[in-house]
Amino acid sequence: GETTKFEVLTQLFHNNCITGVDVCIRKPLVVTCALDCSVRVWNYDTYNLEMHKVFNEEAFSISLHPSGLFILVGFTEKLRLMNLFIDDIVIFREFSVRGCIECAFSYGGHMFASVMGNVIQLFSTYTFKNILNLKGHNGKVKSVIWSFDDNKLVSCGMDGAVYEWETTTGKRIGDSVLKTCSYSSITIAPDGKSVIAVGSDKILREIAESRIVREVPSGDLEFTTVVISRSGRMLFAGTTKGTVLSVKYPLTASGDWIEYHGHGAAVVKVKVSFDDNYLISIAEDATVNLWRIFDKEGHLKREQDFAWAEEILISHKELVEKNMTLSDLSSKIEEVRKESQYQLNQKDIIFNEKITLLTETFITKMERLKIKNQVIQNDKELEVQEHEEAIENLNKAHTEEMEHLEDSFNQKLVQEFEKFQVHQSKIVTMQEDYEKQLAEVENNKEKALEALTEYYEKKLQDMTAKLGYCNGQLRQDAREHEEVVRQIEEDCDREIQDLKHAYEQKLHKERNSNQTLKEKNAVLMRRFNSLQKEIEELRDEIKKLKSEAMKMSNNNSSLEKDITALKSNIRDRDANIQVKEADIFILKRKNNELEKFRFVLTYKIKELREQIEPRELDIKKMKEQIMGMEHELGRFHKYNGQLEFTIAELKEKLRAASGETNREKQKVHDVEAIVRKFKTELHNCIATIQDTKSFKEGIRTLYRKHVLEDNSEISSVDADIQKEFTRQKEHLERSLSILRKKLEKDSEIHKADTVKIMQENVSLIKEICDLRKELKLCRELIHDMSAAITLESHQKKTKVPDFNRRLTEPLLEKEMEEQKKIIEMQQLELKRLRDEIYDLEFSHSSRRTGQLTPLVS
């Protein structure tokens, strides 16, 4: 079958708020960016979408280079300069400008401006260097625009300031500040002498030489953006209502404009093409509108010989690949062309032969057909002559038959008209008789209805008055009952909300106190870890000292061997002197090392004492806090029990009130049933109103049934209500006594728990005292060891060198072992203290959680 060809119906549009738009000089291109993270390039000459690309970030601003070959896009994190290739948009430079909401190329294209907050940065397009930073605005800069000669830059901001900057020096050459207005957009006249600005105060202002020379109010329209054409004769503005205004320029005092509707949301920006033929507007509803500009007065000058540029960007690599592909395709095309030409020649020969054969065949067939056609033509002429004779005979017969039928139908019509006249006279007579009979029946019916209506209306008025009185009484009782129920419900809801709020506040306080205790515990754990690290460092130092002692012993043995060797060569006296001098030197060095070791131990002992004292203070504070929290939890639990009892009482009251309400509703229902029954019986009694005796008997029956019997029933109903009230009262008193006993039992249980917790706290305090005693003993032991080390150092100075040499190593090893034992004991003690603190925290948190459960519920 045939293949279906699809044509493009619409272009790929934006699907979120459009934030930026720009045009260029050399090409009929429009670029837009939006919060849907896409950048799109449109051609307003062909009304097509040239290309689009989706990025990973939202785009806030965009500017198109005058050549149409580059674009500048401000993203969330960076400002990016991109190449516009024939089918892709490629990033080739990034600038560290965050959240750039406005950027613009100069008209020459050699510079561009970007906005970051209240600072305007000027960059070179070719060197990418930051040329100038223009600072002066106190608020965010909303719009920047270059003059046509690129010597001046104009900016406006939310601080109500409009500044003119000199782009060569960065000097501010003009300013206009109006703090009551937050400017949103500006444009500059082609001569560069005046600036038009719009803002939040709904006024269009023209500023020249730092002065506001003209103001045009817009009424209820708030301007969002403004632009002026290159010719300087047309001014366009966008509004928050989605309309575009064409304003006459130069401005008049009253303001002369035409309003055009095109968007469904606020207009974000408007731009005029370089040839002043088109106006492009974008809005927050993700629409791009293209407007054709016509000058009614015919003063618009258009350049006739202006032609768009056809150049495009392409990378060198892609160009080489395309050239290679082109050469390959050209060679293939040449081969295909030669092969096709050969095939065409062969086909021409074959087709010429076929044509010759077919021509001869067709000539023969044509001769035969001509002869056959002549025979058919003769036969046709004969048949035509016969048909004409037959038609003439049929026409004659048809005319005679029509005349005969017309005569017969005229006779029948006269007969039927006479019959119709007779029937018409009969119908008139019968209608007059029936109308007389209907008038008589209607008069009789109206008289009977009037009599019955008067009688029953009187009866109905009497019964309506009685029924209205009864209904009024019922509504009054119902309103009183509803008001009582409503007041009780409001009181209960208010009390419940107050109690809930109070409990939530107390729970919040307890959680905060629990958090502070956890933080303090974390601080203690960090201190403990630091102590453990210091102990490990002490172990490392002890190992180092042992290694040094081993080295010293090795050195000593080597020296003794040297002394033995020297004795054989030197005299006995010189040998003894040398040995003594060597021993004295070794002892002095050992003495110095022992002094250093004593100093280190003294410093470590001092640090341990300073760290233990604050821990004791913290333990004391934690114990006081635990005691206070236990008392507070006991008080909370007692108060919680009271509140639960109060809530139970309120629920009982509410249940009793709801029962009373149901009984009242049942009473109302019974009364309504009695009224309905009374109406029915009264209706049956009225049916016998013609019979006086029966009517009186019916009235007496109604009186006995609904008046005399009601008094006895009311008294019996009152007695039943009193009995029910007494029964419910006794039930509530029994329930109250049971709840009180239960409360006393729970109080005793909680009191026993409190006593148990206090006993546990006393045992913990005893353990803490025992730990303090052990800590004191450790301190005394450390002090004795330090004194022993000092004493030994003094004694070693007075003893004989040979004796020192024998005693030094065993004593040092013994001291090292004792110090190691002391350190291990302290580590075990610290570990035990840490386990006890963890157990205390765990038991305290579990008890606190268990007691606070009723508060949460």
Confidence class for position 804, pLDDT limits 50, 70, 90? very low
What is the pLDDT at residue 722?
66
Position 807 scores a pLDDT of 42
Q: Which residues pair with 205 in a beta bridge?
A: 197, 215
Q: Which helix (H) or strand (E) holds 612?
A: helix 572-686
Q: Rounded to the nearest 5°, which phi and psi values hold at 607?
A: -65, -40
The SS3 call for residue 51 is: strand
Q: What is the mean pLDDT of the chain?
A: 81
What is the DSSP track for 651-692?
HHHHHHHHHHHHHHHHHHHHHHHHHHHHHHHHHHHHTTTTSH
Using the CB atoms, write b or e for 130-156: b if 16+ within 10 Å.
eebebebbebbbbbbbbbeebebbbbb
Where is average pLDDT lowest: 15-24, 174-183, 590-599? 590-599
Task: Decide: residue 648, CB within 10 A, 0-12 exposed, 13-18 middle, 19+ buried.
Answer: middle
Q: CB–CB of 190/207 below 8 Å? A: no
- Res. 590: pLDDT tops 70: yes
The whole-number pLDDT of residue 850 equals: 41
ω before 250 within 30° of 0 (cis)? yes
List the structure tokens of 446.
């109206």
Are 53 and 60 in contact, with CB atoms under 8 Å apart? Answer: no
Q: What is the reported pLDDT for 328?
A: 92
With a cut of 70, say whether residue 479 has pLDDT above it. Answer: yes
Q: State both tokens at 7.
A: 């044509």
SS3 of 82, please? strand
Q: Which residues of 745-778 are buried (b: 16+ CB within 10 A; e: fewer)?
A: eeeeebeeebeebeeebeebeeebeebeeebeeb
Q: Is 294 exposed, middle or buried (0-12, 13-18, 19+ CB in 10 A)?
A: exposed
Q: What single-letter DSSP state applies at residue 231? A: T
| 362, 373, 376, 377, 380 from 369: Cα distances, Å | 10, 6, 10, 12, 16
Q: Has residue 517 got a pLDDT over 80?
A: no
The total number of residues written for the chain in this structure: 857
Q: Is the pLDDT of residue 697 over 70?
A: yes
- For residue 31, the model assigns a pLDDT of 97
- Distance from C-alpha of 820 to C-alpha of 535, rounded to nearest angstrom: 11
- Hey, which residues does 259 pair with through a beta bridge? 245
**Average pLDDT score over residue span 595-603:** 77
- Residues 86, 108: contact at Cβ < 8 Å? no
Residues 594-597: contacts with CB under 8 Å, at least 24 apart:
594/789, 594/793, 595/793, 597/545, 597/789
- Quick one: pLDDT band at residue 649, thresholds 50, 70, 90? confident
Which of 281-290, 441-450, 661-670 has the largest mean confidence?
281-290
Mean pLDDT, residues 256-261 taken together: 91
Q: Which of 77-86, 507-516, 567-576, 721-730 has the highest mean pLDDT?
A: 77-86
- Calculate what percentage of the chain has a pLDDT beyond 90: 29
- pLDDT (0 to 100) of residue 710: 56
Of 1-10, 757-766, 847-856, which range is least confident? 847-856
| pLDDT at residue 18 is higher than 70 | yes
pTM comes to 0.43
3-state secondary structure of 134: strand
The answer, yes or no, to whether residue 797 has pLDDT greater than 50, is no
Rounded CA gap, 551 and 252, in Å?
105
Using 50, 70 and 90 to split pLDDT, how confident is the model at 105? very high
The yes-or-no verdict on residue 179 having pLDDT over 80 is yes
Kindly give, in sequence order, each residue whose CB lies less than 8 Å from that of residue 80, ignoring residues fewer than 6 positions away: 72, 73, 91, 93, 94, 95
Q: Which residues contact 230 (CB under 8 A, 6 or more apart)?
A: 190, 272, 274, 276
Taking residues 766-781, what's their average pLDDT? 74
What structural domains does the chain harbor?
11-135 (2.130.10.10), 182-300 (2.130.10.10)
Q: Which residue has the higher pLDDT, 249 or 453?
A: 249
Residues 499 and 648: their CA atoms lie apart, in Å, by 13
Q: What is the pLDDT of residue 377?
A: 84
More confident residue, 271 or 622: 271
Q: Select from 79, 64, 68, 81 the least CA-distant residue to 20.
A: 64
Region for 192 from its dihedrals, namely left if φ exceeds 0, alpha if ψ lies in -120 to 50, beta otherwise: left
- Between CA 651 and CA 663 the distance in angstroms is 18
Range from 278-287, 340-349, 479-488 carrying the lowest mean pLDDT:
479-488
Instruction: Please state the φ and ψ torsions of residue 154, each to the nearest 5 degrees.
Output: -115, 135
- Give the pLDDT score at 785: 66
Q: pLDDT tens digit string along 722-745?
A: 677 677 777 777 777 787 777 777
Q: Which of 335-339, 415-419, 781-785 has the lowest mean pLDDT?
A: 781-785
**pLDDT > 70: percent of the chain:** 87
Contact 235, 273 (CB under 8 A): no
pLDDT given for residue 553 in this prediction: 72
Please tell me which residue, 572 or 246, carries the higher pLDDT value. Answer: 246
User: What tokens were used for 557?
Assistant: 């043995």
* 34-to-98, 263, 371, 677, 751 alpha-carbon distances in Å: 17, 16, 81, 77, 71
β-pairing, 152-157 vs 161-166, is: antiparallel
Q: What is the mean pLDDT of residues 812-840?
A: 66
* Residue bearing the bigger pLDDT, 361 or 636: 361
Beta bridge partners of 280: 271, 290
